[in-house]
Chains A and B, each alone.
Chain A
């Protein structure tokens, strides 16, 4: 019992930090206290250099004294100074009237004026070394946030010396998330820095199928290649990635430049240099006997240069034939900077696997993008498709109805500051406003032009430019914001690659809702029945007691109302200007034409096709969205060749003309 008590007491005593002992007892020479180490290396610490400071910092870090951590972090953050009066190191902190001082072991030492203290300012390199040393402490810090910080630091700036402390800290880690993170980081550092090839390969293979950006960041440096050249017959040292054939893998010019860079061949003579050499050798209005006036072709200049070469007044330069010969006399390879063949081939395998998976993910992301674009086109085009399908009237002012909807949303937001509420108010209001505008337009203009469809196109165009200019006069030319509510901010992300913003999800949902609404309206209601009847044969429908005038008016209003809703949807992710409708009107026309008129499924198919096509072409040629639109329109023109009435064409009597 007594023995056990003594053991516990001893254990407790040994747990008391060395720093606290140092305050009370005399310094024991063989225990490397932090303060003592600092004193010993005074000269190094006062004027540190990145190359030589390493051992000092390592000694501090290895001292096991908790105060070493305080000293190191103070030093890195310009919190270490020298008191001029006695030359002692002190920890300093900004305070009223100068610096608040503490001695290296942590006791308060009062406040000193600024002038009494020399602040130590280590350079960036030294601070980097200190930070690396500190990371080892932070990895085992009791504070979870600091441990997480340390991992971020390592991930940002991986270094071989971090591997050992990281590994050592995994066992003691209690937080499961951090532990997983440490484990992953350990493997990432292992595959790059571990001395043992087999361990590295195991680490690489453990990542098979992983899509993390950090992994690709770690693997890519392993597979970095440099191009090298050597005369035929001599071996090229190093881990060779592949042989390069001049002509197919690299051009002759590139090959020759490589040789010039490796000092295996003389530099080539550029035309500018040739011209300068000739100009320097003009004698009596001629170069090497060729009169100046004749030197207006490249071949004459080459002859003159060759003549000068013969005389010896200019250096010998390689001609094209010589270049070809020299390139043929050498062989070219790409070598990995990583010398270990097994490691590079394992990395290559894993990376290939990742790329395949990545491509699939990108396809999925692209499909999502295309779907969201298609739903926008669907919303923008469905109103147009209805009016065109039922009345054979192309409404050029459809884009301006979209604009009216967007501006309605903007005006509502001026009055209702709550974005969610204003959106709820704006959607039906936009529908109402554009519905009324559509009905008014139908009653006043289009009704009189049913027999002249091409002229409706022009009359509605007149309305379109008038409305657009009116919007400019009222709202100005600058873009107005239509802010989405906070719950629509951000994106729904499935992983690093596949993600879609919530606004686009909302537009997708809106498009689905309208698709269902129209299917219901057209197939399940009296109005839908009458609309379909008027679409097929207005005269016959009239004989059956349907009032085609009323149906036309309602259809036109409905089509316009949806344009208003589409305007709000588009305004949420694009700025509201008077030209907002113009940006979508041609695509909407395309959607209707490609899809085929008089059928909602046709519009859907058209929107899907155009959305997919546009995103697909943009993916193949990402730098150039203008070209993408050009090619898309060309494709549509060709598509019309094969299906002049659209993807889903009405057949039989319903097709009309």
Chain B
């Protein structure tokens, strides 16, 4: 314990430096505060990407470090978005309703305002009463607490149920996938109280900031997202660096052995699961005001699998790997699917990337899993001259730990 936390983890400092340089650069190039090189929509894309990086960071902690492949973390991400979306939508509608009612002869009662808001928000699903889940939607602090509490509690209960019955490995992956599917199906109903498949919309209009143009708001959100990512990175790096980090890595490598050593494996797992759920939820709460709309499709199981894909391509078990993977794949994906990638004319067939991007992604994903399990982050090892032993060849013994042919020859 002679060296400080940052001295032991030089990558944290480098990461924070790059992140602040990036934020500064984008600010300078933005329309609102600089030379107007980057469009507002691109700044929003960058801000959203930072949020996705934060979610990937959480995914890396739970999967790369604790070895739990959760296929449901985007559910927490979206729940966080829903929680903040409720306040955004309520507060904005409240303003509209009060303006409309102020024309009447009598001043409006609180009940009338609430009925007006309910009719405005829920008219689209044929309801006119504010469902009980909107009880705190009028208050920003309460709703901000819910951003943390709702996904955190869900993760706590779900994790407690799953871990105490020793559901592990692929079983747990499938169970988490079922959880996000169940939640998505529930939210798809019109009487779920969150506007069914219409979702919450108009979230990009921040109440109280009517006079501020979107190009400014987008930069503010970029700053907030960068700050959240930086803080999240620090937190996660701190969590994985000490004894706690050693224990969760040990759980990843051999759960039974850690249990026999007297550690409460379930407690550690539950803590990591809940913590990552909360980080994902905060990322979601920052993401959806930039996206402007949230609907239950965001909770589809495939979204969570993509999260795992990003982490795997970036390189799991290293925090900057998750961030690189999320940023790289999601930016590349929006470049390809946005139709900006040039088509390749093969003479007999033209490869149109909008159609072929997913195939490329899927196959490159298989390739990364097979040939580069370290992902893009592995390039850093290469640069630093770290090499993992080449464990290729046939087994020399029945157990998993047996030497392989080529190792034995050395």
Contact = CB atoms under 8 A, between A and B. Distances in A.
A539 B395 CA distance: 10
B178 A633 contact: yes
Given A449-B370, A626-B186, A586 B358 contact: no
Interface in B148-184: 158, 161-162, 164-167, 169-171, 173-175, 177-179, 181-183
A641 interface: yes
Contacts of A452: 373
A582 to B, nearest CB: 8
Contacts of A445: 366, 370
B146 to A, nearest CB: 21
Interface stretch (B32-40, B102-110, B122-130, B238-246): B102-110
B189 A627 contact: yes
B109 A297 contact: yes
A76 B168 CA distance: 78
B185 A630 contact: yes
Contacts of B182: 629-630, 633-634, 637
A71 interface: no
Interface residues of B, number: 57
Interface in B179-205: 179, 181-183, 185-186, 188-189, 191
Contact of B170 (A292, A454, A466, A629): A454
B178 A449 contact: no
Contacts of A297: 109-110
Nearest to B176: A637
A17 to B, nearest CB: 65
Interface in A466-481: 466-470, 472-473
Contacts of A589: 174, 177-178
Contacts of A540: 398
Contact of B359 (A293, A466, A590, A593): A466
B346 to A, nearest CB: 14
B214 interface: no
Contacts of A278: 105-106
A285 to B, nearest CB: 10
A394 interface: yes
A627 B67 CA distance: 32
Given A448-B370, A633-B179, A462 B106 contact: no
B358 A640 contact: no
A654 to B, nearest CB: 17
A457 interface: yes
Interface stretch (B4-12, B19-27, B301-309): B301-309
A139 to B, nearest CB: 49
B53 interface: no
A317 to B, nearest CB: 17
B210 interface: no
Interface string B74-112: 000000000000000000000000000000111111110
A296 B69 CA distance: 55
A127 interface: no
Contacts of B131: none
Considering residues A472, A586, A624, which has the most beta carbons from chain B within 10 angstroms of its beta carbon? A586
Interface of A: 275, 278-279, 282, 287, 292-293, 295-298, 301, 388, 392, 394, 396, 445, 448-449, 451-455, 457-459, 461-470, 472-473, 539-540, 542, 586, 589-590, 593, 624, 626-627, 629-630, 633-634, 636-638, 640-642, 644
15 contacts: A292-B106, A445-B366, A454-B69, A458-B308, A458-B309, A458-B369, A463-B363, A466-B363, A470-B359, A590-B178, A593-B174, A626-B186, A633-B178, A640-B171, A641-B161
